[in-house]
Structure 1
Amino acid sequence: MPISANALVKRFMTYRWFNSPIFQRWAGVSPSLQEGKVPISIDLLVKRIKVDRCFSHPIFDNWAMSNPDPLTIAALFHQLQLFCSSTRQGWHFPTALKDLGLSVQGKLMTEIVDSESNHGSALAMMAGHIVNRSARRTICPNIGDQKAVERQLKEFSDSIFANSPGYNRDTGLTGQARQAVAVFERRKLSDRRSTYKNLGTTLALELVANQILIPGMKVCLVDSSLYGVTLDEPEMHYLLEHWGEIGAEQQHERKAVAAVATALNESTQADIVAGIDEFLVSLVRLLDVMNEALRASWLLRCCQSTCVCAR
């Protein structure tokens, strides 16, 4: 009796090695998935995202271990705050979903966008606070002034990243950060393909933010004890609001998964997967260049320590 393609796929997925990270990564970029030839479930999409290198990136552990200098911290926060700012803008994305008949998805995306409004000032306050604590003196005198803090962060970014290929002195963005930001500029488009790619990007973003970025920031800023801060401090409100089971990112992840799950089918999955890939590739490049700055800061500190000891 002939066996159907779907039955073959289901049997294939029962094999133990199918769930190995190496195979998941290979399966995630296979031409059949990109072309939409093999149906893919939301569970497999989530697994596919979780085996990306972003999920094992050492940047936050390295931050906690290297104890970077205030200049480097400020430069890293500048890259992070501009990247995060780009992810908060909904542009035409929620409306484009509704125009495609995806009113539920449009509502969920609107809720995510609305919940992220005004978070820029909280992130700037936390950044200024950490820079001051790291320096053990006041570098950012008015951490409640978002624009003032962001101007100072950019000045430090110019010092650290100025010689990086593709660095833009007007914005203070590295080439890698500009690529990551550009992914979210796609939300200004409202055509069908861009809209489904935006859905995939949002799914990957919320998974990474909830499970890697926010927990990682807690590790290097709070758990490391480098800066003597706690989540209860008003200056750390940004991290408190986003972290944990009742945090904003947990809610965003659930909404993103629900939105993609009901929109995922053979005709949409190729674009959704493409949106996932574009985001993950750009983010890991950004994390890599930030990690190099941490490494440079650590090496400089080691050299300075060695010189002192030699005297």
Structure 2
Amino acid sequence: MGLDDAVVKPHERLAEVLAGDLDAVNSLIRARMASEHAPRIPEVSAHLIEAGGKRLRPMLTLASARLCGYDGPFHVHLAATVEFIHTATLLHDDVVDESGQRRGRPTANLLWDNKSSVLVGDYLFARAFQLMVEPGNLRVLDILSNAAATIAEGEVLQLTAANDLKTDEGVYLKVIRGKTAALFSAATEVGGVIAEQPADTVEALRIYGDALGISFQMVDDLLDWQGDVGATGKNVGDDFRERKLTLPIIKAVAAADADERAFWVRTIEKGDQRDGDLDRATDLLTRHGALDATRDAATGWAETAKEAMRRLPADPMRDLLIDLADYVVARIR
């Protein structure tokens, strides 16, 4: 089932339930991405922030805060912080990856230039830190600042592990925990912290976000081989063409014989890709069950997220977040 084929979409139900808070987040984002002296900043920021993204990460903060009974104003600031951090990392990632398309649209670095993307990303990081300070909660500041550092660490680890066939599943997990799951877990954790919940509740929220983020990234890696470009905004095989060692390739390499390993060395390590190589790569992934194994791993992490959420008291918001974990892996069933 594709992402847009589901009859009931939990992220849309979340958006309906959180509509008032999301409006406040969007208003705050527009206000804080403004610049009196550099109009290119809101131009570049708006191109990505208003490109039709689902606002999943800020919704996790809003939902966690509401689940925990928070009735103050600062969950909005924290949700906007999370979105700014996410957008800043996307701007930087597209420069590093030399990407030309995101969410089915030209990237900011293609429409403007690399310098603008990097500098506007820096500006959004600065705005994020301004926002995360405003609640006056040192624990919140610690969580979100650590997440920002962990994201950068994950991206650098991915860069150093790229094209190296010695990269194993342990390194891969560190990479995706950094570049994706860190912000998911911070988004849910701060919702509990700002609501002054006990440590076990906050930890359950952190585990939920971490596991959901890992599952989300594994699904994204699988969709690169099996997805619909209209739904994903990516062409099938982009990761292979960019020589990224995602979980399906790592699993296929681990099971490869000498001839197959030589193929991976040529296409991934040396970057010598020829007509028909994508088809052969897909065949090898299928032959060794790498796609099915990746699907199983993503489903397992979604189950971990659901188990963590079930530690919390019964609540309609809790059930929505459980449904969201199911929905993440429904995209690959």
Asked whether the two chains share a fold, i.e. TM above 0.5, the reply is: no
Structure with more relative contact order (C-alpha pairs < 8 Å, separation 6 or more) = 1
Structure showing greater Rg: 1
TM-score by length of 1: 0.32
